[in-house]
Amino acid sequence: MFKKGPIEGVVIKPIKKFLDDRGWLAELFREDELNSKTVMPVMSYISFTLPGVVRGPHEHEEQTDYFCFIGPSNFKLVLWDNRRGSSTFGNKMVLFAGEDNPASVIIPEGVVHAYKNIGSKDGAVMNFPNRLFMGEGKRSKIDEIRHEDDADSPFKVDE
């Protein structure tokens, strides 16, 4: 059903690490480099994923995710354009990001996404979404359509 190809609205940007004798520093996002109407972060979180573990696949109805994969560990990120009105509907992208290839990835609403820690150590992922989790004061329903428990789902990370 899905074919390999770029997905409209997905932005992949290498993250440059600035090294010195103290360690390193990396800019994760800058207001002057974002489309402030659709991407501007309103919160942030960090998660650690164990080796071999998959998070997702899921999609958001209104939220755009701004993931940063800088390490430790490496990840396989799979994206499926599930937006019927998109010029790239039916496309699938597979990316590898993390310690060996630091990158930020902007994932628009309606794009199904999942990532798997393909490294041998716990891996960190940061997200700077443009919507608050469960809305103001955590009083709204979660903006997530989850596909991981559907055995017939076309969204498989390892296929």
Single out the residue of 108, 152, 150 nearest to residue 131, CA to CA.
Answer: 108
Radius of gyration of the chain (CA): 16
Domains of the chain: 3-146 (2.60.120.10)
- Taking only the tens place, the pLDDT of each residue in 77-114 is 999 999 999 999 999 999 999 999 999 999 999 999 99
CA gap 106, 34 in Å, rounded? 10
Q: Tens of pLDDT along 81-91?
A: 999 999 999 99
Q: What pLDDT, on the 0 to 100 scale, is given for residue 40?
A: 85
